[in-house]
Chain A
Amino acid sequence: RKEVEQDPGPFNVPEGATVAFNCTYSNSASQSFFWYRQDCRKEPKLLMSVYSSGNEDGRFTAQLNRASQYISLLIRDSKLSDSATYLCVVNLAGYALNFGKGTSLLVTP
């Protein structure tokens, strides 16, 4: 069973649309959760940490459901520059980050 699972997409949405990505993780002992974005052949860049109470950063909202082992990311008012691969990332309890394969987003004019 994969540790972190994401729908690979691609999600093709028009500018201004709202889009949501989901992620599930297999280990209930996981402690920390993040969303990173990765542009083609570039490094992962931290988008936001995900907290149990849910958190928002501008157009981005992240939610965590520990009971269902489920993480989500909502992007409102999509911009062309949001086109990227979105990586769901989980930390068990130590130092290693466990990455999902990512969900590809393409925002079109």
Chain B
Amino acid sequence: EPEVTQTPSHQVTQMGQEVILRCVPISNHLYFYWYRQILGQKVEFLVSFYNNEISEKSEIFDDQFSVERPDGSNFTLKIRSTKLEDSAMYFCASSLGGGDQPQHFGDGTRLSIL
């Protein structure tokens, strides 16, 4: 069964450093997403991406965050200057269509900010 893959599985970074999280969505999917889950809390939406542009973003997704699809397969999330509160599990997801189409999640990148 096709799956969303994410790298690295765990990233440890000093506060203030830039970090890039990488994702390879399912190959025929057209919509891509980033979510995060702080330990013990619910999964929170960050951003959705379609047709090479952001289609929706949450209040969490401020100027420190950016997304990019640099080639035909990768989808990245960049955090420019990390803060302690950015420590979380970051999940990438993809879907065939928008709206009522189910989103399929990668196994996540655990980001630890020191």
Contacts and interface: CB of A to CB of B under 8 A. Distances in A.
A and B: real partners? yes
Interface of A: 31-32, 34, 41-46, 49, 87, 91, 93-102
Given A94-B55, A95-B55, A42 B102 contact: no
B64 interface: no
Contacts of B105: 43-45
Interface string B40-65: 01111100101000011010000000
A95 B98 contact: yes
B111 interface: no
Interface in B54-85: 55-56, 58
B33 A99 contact: no
Interface of B: 31, 33, 35, 41-45, 48, 50, 55-56, 58, 89, 91, 98-100, 102-108
A31 B99 CA distance: 8
Q: Tell me what chain B mostly uses at the interface: helix, strand, loop, or mixed.
A: strand
A95 B31 contact: yes
B42 A95 contact: no
Given A43-B108, A94-B56, A95-B56, A101 B41 contact: yes
17 contacts: A31-B100, A42-B107, A44-B91, A44-B105, A45-B105, A46-B103, A87-B42, A95-B31, A95-B50, A95-B56, A95-B98, A96-B48, A97-B33, A98-B45, A99-B42, A100-B42, A101-B42
Given A32-B99, A97-B45, A101-B42, 10 more contacts: A42-B107, A44-B91, A91-B99, A91-B100, A95-B31, A95-B48, A95-B98, A96-B48, A96-B56, A98-B45
